[in-house]
Copies of this chain bind each other. A is one copy, B any other.
């Protein structure tokens, strides 16, 4: 592991690839890698790209990467793909992506598929971002498929978030229901060569100016406590709505210019520090949640939990009572462990701890 860490800090592609694989497959590896690399992070500009399936995000990400490369910046790309088990992983995957960018040592591309729980995927994604940051990539592009909380969570890892829409995705009004518009710093209407794109642009602009908290973006906070500010702005940032046709390279130069302008805005306004704070808060919260559940599963065995699940399914007890029992048992056992006193056992549950602990 130490050798890999050194290789990553040297920016060696093979070491980066190997560490990313470890990090994706093991939470312990993620913890070790992040702990070692963390002091070397904080330099990268992390850019999230999200939007519904079919909005052409992958093509857009490739175009952005090409333009950033022309500006001499090193670019890391993480494509988060919470794939259906149907497909067995990324369908298009790295192969299509690599076609345009292959052979350029200034670009590193990795697809991450959901192998287990969502918590695992988010954790692996955060760790992967830190690996690329520590490896010296100045821009890290994180592409997510989604329209759900999962994707919002992953997007929260970003400094600058692009929300991509496209015309012809169904009822206009539906497009705003996905719950992701409020995280946008830049709104992109891709496939702008298709009919109806001007209407989507106008609808989005209208939303920005009319919405109750239109355009306001409080990174990592808006979902729990929306604080209205000036419409269409976030901390002085005017959220642009940009039409692009990524497959023809149209509008992408302007988009990259806006991305760089947003970075400048973050740095001069003090917003960068605020977002770092929110990013860290969110990540800590998620890690704590995983840790607490792991602690629970150590203290209260699967078969004990199963017995309660069966009782709930049979309507013998209600779910809240079951939760209280598991929770109390967890604390009783922790207490016993610390103080040497016997725990208050719930009925027909065996303690997993030896008597003399």
Contact = CB atoms under 8 A, between A and B. Distances in A.
Interface string A303-315: 0011011101101
A214 B177 contact: no
Interface string A206-246: 01000111100000001110100000000000000000000
A352 to B, nearest CB: 17
Interface string A153-186: 0000000000000101111011111111110000
Contacts of A174: 53-54
A291 B339 contact: no
A54 B289 contact: no
A41 B315 contact: yes
Given A86-B212, A179-B114, A211-B86, A335 B326 contact: no
Given A146-B147, A292-B292, A309-B284, A35 B318 contact: yes
Among A87, A283, A293, A306, the most chain B Cβ lie within 10 Å of the Cβ of A87
A91 interface: yes
A116 interface: yes
A177 B143 CA distance: 13
B53 A170 contact: yes
Interface in A326-357: 326-327, 331, 334-335, 338-339, 341
A285 B54 CA distance: 33
Interface stretch (A9-17, A64-72, A273-281): A273-281
Contacts of A83: 177, 179
A34 to B, nearest CB: 6
A80 to B, nearest CB: 11
A94 interface: no
B176 A87 contact: yes
A212 B151 contact: no
Given A170-B166, A280-B309, A284-B309, A176 B86 contact: yes
A296 B288 contact: yes
Contact of A86 (B86, B213, B283): B213
A287 interface: yes
B223 A326 contact: no
A39 interface: yes
Contact of A284 (B168, B224, B291, B305): B305
Interchain residue pairs A-B with the least CB separation, the first 3: A148-B148, A54-B170, A38-B318
Interface of A: 31, 34-35, 38-39, 41-42, 52-56, 81-88, 91-92, 114, 116-118, 145-151, 166, 168-171, 173-182, 207, 211-214, 222-224, 226, 273, 276-277, 279-281, 283-285, 287-289, 291-293, 295-296, 305-306, 308-310, 312-313, 315, 318-323, 326-327, 331, 334-335, 338-339, 341
13 contacts: A38-B318, A53-B170, A54-B174, A54-B175, A82-B149, A84-B180, A85-B211, A85-B213, A150-B150, A281-B306, A283-B319, A287-B323, A289-B289
